[in-house]
Amino acid sequence: MASSSPFFIGFEDLPDDGCLLIPGRLPHPELLALSSRLKTRPVTWLIEEGAMVEPATQEYLAGEDVLAATFSRDDDPAAVGGALRQKIENNALLIFIPGDAAARPGTACHIPPDQLAFLCALSLPTIPIAVSRPNELRLASESPSALPSSVFVLGDAISSNDISVPLYQENLLRAAETSFSSRRFLEGSLAENLLIGLKKHGHISIHDGTDDSSLPYGKLLAAAIVLSKEIKKATSKKRVGIILPPGKGGMLANIAVLFANKIPVNLNFTASQEAVESAIRQADLDKFITADPFVRKVPTFPWPPTRDLLLIERILPAIKGSIAKWFILSKLIPTPLLSMILGLKKGGRGDDEAILLFTSGSSGEPKGVPLSHRNVLGNVCQFGTRLSLPSDAGILGALPLFHSFGCTVTLWFPIIEGAKLVTYPSPLETKRLAELIHEHQLNLLLATPTFLRGYMRRVDPELLASLDFVVTGAEKLPSNLARAFEKKFGKLPFEGYGLTETSPATNVNLPEASPPTPETPVIASSKLGSVGPFLPGIAVKLTDPSTDEQLPVNESGIIWLRGANVFPGYLNREDLTNEVIIDGWFKTGDVGRLDENGFLYIEGRMSRFSKIAGEMVPHEAVEGHLNKILGLDGEEERKIAVVGLPDEQKGEVIGLLSAVPTETPEQDIVDWRHKLMEEGIPSLWCPKSIIPVDEIPVLASGKLDLKACDQLARASHDRDSDAGA
Q: How far apart are CA 252 and CA 315, in angstroms?
A: 12
Q: What is the maximum span of the chain, computed from C-alpha positions, in angstroms?
A: 90
399 neighbors 413 (Cβ within 8 angstroms): no
Dihedral of alpha carbons 587, 543, 472, 270, sign: negative
Q: Which domain holds residue 517?
A: 190-589
258 neighbors 394 (Cβ within 8 angstroms): no
Task: Give the Cβ contact number of residue 13 at 10 Å.
Answer: 10
Are both 524 and 657 inside the same structural domain? no
Q: Tell me the average pLDDT across 440-453.
A: 92
Q: How far apart are CA 459 and CA 150, in angstroms?
A: 46
Q: Looking at the domain assignment, is residue 175 inside a domain?
A: yes
Q: Looking at the domain assignment, is residue 606 inside a domain?
A: no
* Distance separating the N- and C-terminal Cα atoms of the chain: 71
Predicted confidence (pLDDT) per residue in 235-272, tens digit:
999 999 999 999 999 999 999 999 999 999 999 998 88
Indicate the number of domains in the chain. 3
Q: How far apart are CA 714 and CA 708, in angstroms?
A: 10
Are both 194 and 175 inside the same structural domain? no
In Å, what is the CA distance from 528 to each residue of 467, 481, 525, 601, 680?
19, 11, 10, 10, 22
Are both 206 and 273 inside the same structural domain? yes
Predicted confidence (pLDDT) per residue in 389-435, tens digit:
988 899 999 999 998 888 999 999 999 999 999 999 999 899 999 99
pLDDT reported for residue 721? 64
Choose one of 148, 182, 216: the last residue of a domain: 182
Q: Tell me the average pLDDT across 289-313.
A: 94
Predicted confidence (pLDDT) per residue in 624-645, tens digit:
888 888 888 766 678 889 988 8
SS3 sequence of 281-304: HHHCCCCEEECHHHHHHCCCCCCC
DSSP state, residue 105: T
Q: How far apart are CA 564 and CA 372, in angstroms?
A: 10
pLDDT value at 725 more than 90: no
Are both 494 and 538 inside the same structural domain? yes
383 neighbors 413 (Cβ within 8 angstroms): yes
Choose one of 158, 182, 206: the last residue of a domain: 182
Q: How far apart are CA 607 and CA 597, in angstroms?
A: 28
pLDDT reported for residue 2? 42
Residue 640: alpha-carbon gap to chain centroid: 27
What b/e readout covers 627-648, taking b as 16+ CB neighbours within 10 angstroms?
Answer: bbebebeebeebbbbbbbbebe
420 neighbors 395 (Cβ within 8 angstroms): yes
494: enclosing H helix or E strand: strand 494-498
Q: Looking at the domain assignment, is residue 598 inside a domain?
A: no
Are both 531 and 664 inside the same structural domain? no
CATH number, residue 213? 3.40.50.12780
Are both 314 and 451 inside the same structural domain? yes
Residue of 469, 470, 475, 441 lying closest to 455 (CA atoms): 470
DSSP string covering 450-469, please? HHHHHHHHH--GGGGTT-SE
Residues 6+ apart with CB under 8 A from 453: 481, 634, 635, 636
Angle at Cα 358 formed by Cα 352 and Cα 362, nearest 5°?
Answer: 145
Residue of 398, 405, 451 lying closest to 424 (CA atoms): 398
Q: Which pTM was predicted?
A: 0.88
Q: Looking at the domain assignment, is residue 551 inside a domain?
A: yes
Share of residues in the chain with pLDDT > 70 (%): 96
163 neighbors 126 (Cβ within 8 angstroms): yes
Are both 81 and 129 inside the same structural domain? yes
Are both 342 and 435 inside the same structural domain? yes
Are both 365 and 466 inside the same structural domain? yes
**Cβ-based burial of 144 (10 A; exposed 0-12, middle 13-18, buried ≥19):** exposed
Task: Give the Cβ contact number of residue 679 at 10 Å.
Answer: 12
Choose one of 557, 589, 621: the last residue of a domain: 589
Predicted confidence (pLDDT) per residue in 66-86, tens digit:
999 999 999 999 999 999 999
Q: How far apart are CA 359 and CA 333, in angstroms?
A: 40
Residue 135: alpha-carbon gap to chain centroid: 21
pLDDT value at 650 more than 70: no
Q: How far apart are CA 315 and CA 309, in angstroms?
A: 11
Give the sheet arrangement for strand 651-658, strand by strand.
Answer: 640-647, 651-658, 689-692
pLDDT reported for residue 259? 98
pLDDT value at 606 more than 70: no
What b/e readout covers 272-306, taking b as 16+ CB neighbours within 10 angstroms?
Answer: eeebbebbbebbebbbbbbbeebeeeeeebebbee
% helix / strand / coil in the chain, to the nearest 5? 40, 20, 40
Q: How far apart are CA 243 and CA 652, in angstroms?
A: 41
In Å, what is the CA distance from 613 to each residue of 420, 609, 616, 684?
54, 13, 9, 9
The alpha carbons of the chain give a radius of gyration, in whole angstroms, of 27
Q: Looking at the domain assignment, is residue 640 inside a domain?
A: yes
Residues 6+ apart with CB under 8 A from 395: 389, 409, 410, 413, 414, 419, 420, 421, 422, 442, 443, 444, 446
What's the mean per-residue pLDDT of the chain? 92
Are both 197 and 165 inside the same structural domain? no
Q: Is 531 helix (H, G, I), strand (E, B) or coil?
A: coil
- Higher per-residue pLDDT: 225 or 591: 225
pLDDT reported for residue 697? 87
Predicted confidence (pLDDT) per residue in 513-528, tens digit:
999 999 999 999 999 9
Residue of 236, 41, 174, 221 lying closest to 534 (CA atoms): 174
Q: How far apart are CA 709 and CA 693, in angstroms?
A: 10
Q: Looking at the domain assignment, is residue 221 inside a domain?
A: yes
Q: Looking at the domain assignment, is residue 644 inside a domain?
A: yes
Are both 156 and 204 inside the same structural domain? no
Q: Looking at the domain assignment, is residue 215 inside a domain?
A: yes
SS3 sequence of 152-187: EEECCCECCCCCCHHHHHHHHHHHHHHHHHCCHHHH
Helices within 235-291 (DSSP H only): 248-259, 273-283
Q: Tell me the average pLDDT across 542-558.
A: 93
pLDDT reported for residue 1? 43
Share of residues in the chain with pLDDT > 90 (%): 74
pLDDT reported for residue 359? 87
Asked if residue 366 has a cis previous peptide bond (ω within 30° of 0), the answer is: no
Q: Tell me the average pLDDT across 164-170.
A: 98
CATH number, residue 626? 3.30.300.30
pLDDT reported for residue 636? 65
Are both 542 and 637 inside the same structural domain? no
